[in-house]
Structure 1
């Protein structure tokens, strides 16, 4: 994820109080309608961050690209066990955006976590209260899916990682029609030891995660399409051996979340590389194909990569159009 975004989230997180709060009670009933299309809205939903990078108007992007769904970033802890956008904006702050997307025929997947800021997995004291925080997000927006972007200490601390997985299990049992996605960092070879441990623990407890999405960038890759495909093949093998899946089942539970343009470490994901990833994702039947971030899917007009452009020669929404062609 973007260093600019990391800095922004870090500042936002400090603004919150540091007292652990009580989570809302977990409800077994939500207003989320069951999706008749198992792929939507998870499969093709680029990240859109309304608190960063001069965010575009979603309905205009939908009209220009054919994209329907968006992964909205980022829900964090408000300083206790309570979810808030960026850790400091109430959940209803982005309601108008969600209503706009739905009115245009699309849907949203809130992303919970990210690289920086106060993570609910760390500020909620047990799996039940964390599940209650996730449930509040589901209930507020009548969701069909949630994305837990688990990174940094939330990813690397076994006790916190376990808490997240156990909370997802509780949420899945209470909301069997809601898809759960876990998004996490990776190596060019596939999941690192921490990622393998997380997947193994999910199998052990029966967390029933629908899609495991890797972020195959920031590992110093030189051929980002080839490295991404290699990384995803590594994930497929881990899922296959851990859960006893067939190849087809493992691919269906795997996802790619790339980064358009220049990455934080100077790798380049241009349109040609991204199209190769998309072709691979479609050929193998991956469960998700997306990227960070729609805010950056624009030309820089002479400048370098930033929170509002990707740093490569392009037209507006080139990467979003490629994602729109992927339906899972």
Structure 2
């Protein structure tokens, strides 16, 4: 994939030492067929990407998430010019049963399988994608055969993007090698599919991706699946990511029809694949694949007969970093852990009847209020599979002096409710998790709303974690790249880094429920070019400055009838990182 696969260095994966049985490696120029042929994949399969460099067990995460099939990313060479494949290009992770072999055996014992993937952004950008790196077609073919026989797999994925799309020699070598491997597999009675994973526009492949397929056709190379990365469009346009998926895959189907005029409509749809990026992609919030988008794509892909449904990546399928884009370890949105996996898993043929299931999410996921104040948030439900059922909503965990109200108290899955949280004048300051639970029959799903009861006094006044000495952003929400840093600081050991880039201001925000019709002062210390500090909502005021060192900024404001304001700090487009510390709201 694009940015997630462009990390500067991969972590070493934890080696699995139990050898997989029944695998026969060749000697010299390549590999021989194993004694038993691999099992073909289902006609329709959900196979999310698994980041193989993290040290995690694919079998363990497959079981935890419910994803029976995994696309293992990535295989590449260690350096330009090499013809030897390794997991993540790491010499300590050879293509051998000791690396993931036991995990793959366990996955198969549970009715699943794996798809090894060659390439990825890092390899494609750095020249270590094997067909770019190796000048010998025979050696490339031998590497493919080694992976097939070592792990007894029936599909290989080719993730081709960035510089690899411009390497015409590598494109030709790759397709010639694949053709050679297809002939080898046929001669040995071994089922083998080849998928190409390619970047896309919202209307189908760009010409560089089409060139890969045109070359395959000219070489007589069979391409079984063309899998589009339906994210990271970087076009500056507004996006409904579910609708963009539909137009991208529909455009691909039409392009395939011109390349393969003898195929039927059903066969053409059966050549298509979809890979989403759950949550906020690398471009930023304008390209967010939401929990509401997922069932739309699922239903559409199923109705069209799409072959493969996937996403980047399994380790992102959680809501651990709201507001963060392009992360490898979380989606950047509020969601139940494994929400996207649970939504897409029934796509696999033969996975059993679709059950009536739903999800629960809270947005925004946190807020700070003063004693005597209140705030609201939206509880969203969505149909994960099957039919929409009635979901009864409850909230628990509110501390003494804090009350919660849900309106309505029950919804049909797909509907929303408003959660109102009110703190009495005697509510004790602190941070409290409020658990919102949706129940329908024997099913129950929950989401957490983090409430902070603030109070006057202290260095930050009514603002929570304005000095960032907790070491975390909570309850601040930031655009991609916002983070708590240890240097430079104004006071204490931490400060906020606001990641202003050419495409974003890097804004970080915190919502406060203050007293209505009351005067307050927002103050703080900022360092960097064009650092803005302000409030909006029930009051509007801001101040900005540019300084190579920390300089104090302050602005007064008066709340209106509700008292709810959003405090913000941000930089400006293309002006670089702004640092903020010791922010406060005082009356």
TM-score (norm 2): 0.51
Once the two structures are superposed, residues 78-137 of structure 1 have per-residue CA deviations (whole angstroms, 9 ceiling, x without a partner) of 231011011012223222332332233321111111011311111111322111111111
Report if aligned partners of 1:24, 1:129 keep a CA contact under 8 Å in 2. no
- In the other structure, the counterpart of 2:307 is 287
Is 1:178 aligned to residue 192 of structure 2?
A: yes
Once the two structures are superposed, residues 126-152 of structure 1 have per-residue CA deviations (whole angstroms, 9 ceiling, x without a partner) of 322111111111111111111111112
Higher strand share: 2
Q: How many angstroms does 1:62 deviate by?
A: 4.0
Q: Which has the higher contact order (CA 8 A, sep 6+)?
A: 1
Is 1:325 aligned to residue 349 of structure 2?
A: no
- In the other structure, the counterpart of 1:160 is 170
SS at the partner of 1:138?
A: helix
- In the other structure, the counterpart of 1:265 is 283
- In the other structure, the counterpart of 2:48 is 46
| Cα 1:302/1:67, change in 2 over 3 Å | closer
- In the other structure, the counterpart of 1:225 is 242
- In the other structure, the counterpart of 1:73 is 73
Q: Show structure 1 runs of 5+ residues with no match.
A: 13-22
SS at the partner of 2:342?
A: helix
Q: How many angstroms does 1:6 deviate by?
A: 0.9
| Cα 1:234/1:301, change in 2 over 3 Å | closer
Q: How many angstroms does 1:272 deviate by?
A: 1.6
| Cα 1:4/1:298, change in 2 over 3 Å | same
Q: When the two structures are aligned, how many residues end up with a matched partner?
A: 314
Is 1:33 aligned to residue 37 of structure 2?
A: yes
- In the other structure, the counterpart of 1:18 is none
Once the two structures are superposed, residues 16-72 of structure 1 have per-residue CA deviations (whole angstroms, 9 ceiling, x without a partner) of xxxxxxx962446245624355537xx2111011313x74x5445444554211011
Structural mapping, 1:139-218, within 5 Å: 139-176=149-186, 177-218=191-232
Q: Which moved further from structure 2: 278-287 or 26-35?
A: 26-35
Report if aligned partners of 1:299, 1:314 keep a CA contact under 8 Å in 2. yes
Report if aligned partners of 1:252, 1:285 keep a CA contact under 8 Å in 2. yes
| Cα 1:4/1:288, change in 2 over 3 Å | closer
Q: How many angstroms does 1:10 deviate by?
A: 7.6
Q: Show structure 2 runs of 5+ residues with no match.
A: 13-26, 350-587
Report if aligned partners of 1:297, 1:309 keep a CA contact under 8 Å in 2. yes
**How far apart, CA to CA, are the structure 2 residues paired with 1:28 and 1:279?**
41
Once the two structures are superposed, residues 133-189 of structure 1 have per-residue CA deviations (whole angstroms, 9 ceiling, x without a partner) of 111111111111111111122222111111111111111111141111111111111
Is 1:314 aligned to residue 332 of structure 2?
A: no
Higher helix share: 1
Report if aligned partners of 1:9, 1:116 keep a CA contact under 8 Å in 2. no
**How far apart, CA to CA, are the structure 2 residues paired with 1:297 and 1:150?**
24
Report if aligned partners of 1:2, 1:263 keep a CA contact under 8 Å in 2. no
Q: Once superposed, what is the RMSD of the aligned Cα atoms?
A: 2.3
* 2:318 corresponds to which of 276, 291, 298: 298
- In the other structure, the counterpart of 2:5 is 5
- In the other structure, the counterpart of 1:99 is 105
| Cα 1:128/1:164, change in 2 over 3 Å | same
| Cα 1:174/1:296, change in 2 over 3 Å | same
**How far apart, CA to CA, are the structure 1 residues paired with 2:43 and 2:9?**
30
Report if aligned partners of 1:254, 1:287 keep a CA contact under 8 Å in 2. yes
**How far apart, CA to CA, are the structure 1 residues paired with 2:101 and 2:337?**
25
Report if aligned partners of 1:32, 1:143 keep a CA contact under 8 Å in 2. no
Report if aligned partners of 1:24, 1:132 keep a CA contact under 8 Å in 2. no
**How far apart, CA to CA, are the structure 1 residues paired with 2:321 and 2:217?**
47
| Cα 1:190/1:2, change in 2 over 3 Å | closer
Report if aligned partners of 1:28, 1:174 keep a CA contact under 8 Å in 2. no
**How far apart, CA to CA, are the structure 1 residues paired with 2:31 and 2:198?**
27
Q: Which moved further from structure 2: 208-217 or 91-100?
A: 91-100
**How far apart, CA to CA, are the structure 2 residues paired with 1:299 and 1:155?**
33
Report if aligned partners of 2:39, 2:153 keep a CA contact under 8 Å in 1. no
| Cα 1:29/1:217, change in 2 over 3 Å | same
Q: How many angstroms does 1:327 deviate by?
A: 2.1
**How far apart, CA to CA, are the structure 2 residues paired with 1:133 and 1:63?**
30
| Cα 1:213/1:191, change in 2 over 3 Å | same
Q: How many angstroms does 1:231 deviate by?
A: 0.6
TM-score (norm 1): 0.88
| Cα 1:139/1:191, change in 2 over 3 Å | same
Report if aligned partners of 1:45, 1:290 keep a CA contact under 8 Å in 2. yes
Report if aligned partners of 2:32, 2:149 keep a CA contact under 8 Å in 1. no
